Chain A
Amino acid sequence: MHLSNSILTWIAAILTIGIFSFLWKDNPFYKFCEHLFVGVSVGYSISLTWYNAVYPDLFNPLFLQPFSAVSLGRKLLLVIPLILGLCYFCRFIPKVSWLIRFPMAFVLGWASGVAIPAYFQTNILKQMQGTFLTPGIFSRWDVLLWAIISFIGVICSVFYFFFSKEHKGALKVASETGIVFLMVGFGASFGYTVMARMSLLIGRFQFILGDWLGVIK
Chain B
Amino acid sequence: MKFFQYLLKIDRRIIYIVMGILVMLPLIKPLGLGVTSGPRATALFDAIDALPAGKTILISVDFDPSSMPELYPMLAGVMRHAFAKDLKVLLCGLWVTGVGLADKAVTEIPPEYGKKYGEDVVYLGWKAGVDAVILGMGENIKNVFPADYQGHPLDSLPMMREVQRLRDIPIAFAISAGTPGYQDWLLFAQSRYGMKVGAGLTAVSAADAYPYLQSGQLTGLLAGMKGGAEYEVMVQKKGYSRAYMPAVAAMDSQSLAHVVIMILVIVGNIAYFATRKRGA
Interface of A toward B, CB cutoff 8 Å: 23-24, 41, 44-45, 48-49, 52-53, 56-57, 111, 114-115, 118-119, 121-123, 126-127, 129-131, 134-135, 150, 185, 188-189, 192-196, 198-206, 209, 215-217
What residues of B have a CB within 8 angstroms of the CB of A121 in the complex? 191
Q: With A130-B217, A134-B214, A206-B69 as known contacts, state yes or no: A194 contacts B28, CB within 8 Å.
A: no
Which residue from A45, A122, A192, A196 sits with its C-beta under 8 Å from B190? Answer: A122
Q: With A121-B191, A126-B217, A185-B207 as known contacts, state yes or no: A198 contacts B28, CB within 8 Å.
A: no
Question: A119-B187, A205-B23 known; 6 other A-B pairs, CB under 8 Å?
Answer: A49-B128, A118-B191, A122-B186, A192-B204, A193-B204, A199-B203
The CA of A189 and the CA of B224, in the complex, are separated in Å by 12
The CA of A85 and the CA of B192, in the complex, are separated in Å by 29
On whether the beta carbons of A134 and B215 are closer than 8 Å, the reply is yes
* B246 touches A (CB below 8 Å): yes
Q: List 6 A-B contacts (CB under 8 A).
A: A45-B97, A122-B186, A195-B224, A199-B254, A203-B225, A216-B249
Which residues of B190-231 have CB atoms within 8 Å of chain A's CB atoms?
190-192, 202-204, 206-207, 211, 214-217, 223-226
* B27 touches A (CB below 8 Å): yes
The CA of A41 and the CA of B100, in the complex, are separated in Å by 13
Q: Which 9 A-B pairs have CB atoms at the shortest separation, nearest pair first?
A: A203-B69, A130-B215, A196-B203, A199-B225, A135-B216, A195-B203, A192-B203, A118-B187, A196-B204
On whether the beta carbons of A198 and B257 are closer than 8 Å, the reply is yes
On whether the beta carbons of B207 and A134 are closer than 8 Å, the reply is no
On whether the beta carbons of B207 and A188 are closer than 8 Å, the reply is yes
On whether the beta carbons of B225 and A129 are closer than 8 Å, the reply is no
On whether the beta carbons of B128 and A150 are closer than 8 Å, the reply is no
On whether the beta carbons of A130 and B216 are closer than 8 Å, the reply is yes
On whether the beta carbons of A111 and B131 are closer than 8 Å, the reply is yes
What residues of B have a CB within 8 angstroms of the CB of A135 in the complex? 216
On whether the beta carbons of B217 and A122 are closer than 8 Å, the reply is yes
On whether the beta carbons of B127 and A53 are closer than 8 Å, the reply is yes
Q: How far is the CB of B252 from chain A (nearest CB, A)?
A: 10
On whether the beta carbons of A189 and B131 are closer than 8 Å, the reply is no
* B70 touches A (CB below 8 Å): yes
Which residues of B76-130 have CB atoms within 8 Å of chain A's CB atoms?
96-97, 99, 125-128
On whether the beta carbons of A115 and B131 are closer than 8 Å, the reply is yes
What residues of B have a CB within 8 angstroms of the CB of A193 in the complex? 203-204
On whether the beta carbons of B70 and A199 are closer than 8 Å, the reply is yes
What residues of B have a CB within 8 angstroms of the CB of A126 in the complex? 191, 215, 217
On whether the beta carbons of A206 and B206 are closer than 8 Å, the reply is no
Which residue from B13, B66, B207 sits with its C-beta under 8 Å from A200? Answer: B66
Residue in chain A with minimal CB distance to B177 = A196
The CA of A203 and the CA of B214, in the complex, are separated in Å by 30
* B250 touches A (CB below 8 Å): yes
The CA of A186 and the CA of B203, in the complex, are separated in Å by 14
On whether the beta carbons of B191 and A122 are closer than 8 Å, the reply is yes
Residue in chain A with minimal CB distance to B186 = A122
Residue in chain A with minimal CB distance to B253 = A202
The CA of A121 and the CA of B191, in the complex, are separated in Å by 7
On whether the beta carbons of A118 and B69 are closer than 8 Å, the reply is no
Which residue from A52, A150, A203 sits with its C-beta under 8 Å from B250? Answer: A203
Q: How far is the CB of A11 from chain B (nearest CB, A)?
A: 14
Which residue from A52, A188, A195 sits with its C-beta under 8 Å from B254? Answer: A195
On whether the beta carbons of A23 and B187 are closer than 8 Å, the reply is no
On whether the beta carbons of A192 and B97 are closer than 8 Å, the reply is no
Most buried by B among A53, A57, A202: A202
On whether the beta carbons of B203 and A118 are closer than 8 Å, the reply is no
Q: How far is the CB of B180 from chain A (nearest CB, A)?
A: 12
* B261 touches A (CB below 8 Å): yes
Q: How far is the CB of A186 from chain B (nearest CB, A)?
A: 9
On whether the beta carbons of B225 and A189 are closer than 8 Å, the reply is no
On whether the beta carbons of A192 and B207 are closer than 8 Å, the reply is yes
The CA of A188 and the CA of B206, in the complex, are separated in Å by 10
Q: How far is the CB of A85 from chain B (nearest CB, A)?
A: 11
* B4 touches A (CB below 8 Å): no
The CA of A200 and the CA of B253, in the complex, are separated in Å by 12
* B16 touches A (CB below 8 Å): yes
On whether the beta carbons of A48 and B97 are closer than 8 Å, the reply is yes
The CA of A135 and the CA of B213, in the complex, are separated in Å by 10
The CA of A206 and the CA of B228, in the complex, are separated in Å by 15
The CA of A129 and the CA of B49, in the complex, are separated in Å by 28
On whether the beta carbons of A48 and B99 are closer than 8 Å, the reply is yes
On whether the beta carbons of B187 and A122 are closer than 8 Å, the reply is yes
On whether the beta carbons of B97 and A44 are closer than 8 Å, the reply is yes
Q: How far is the CB of B207 from chain A (nearest CB, A)?
A: 4
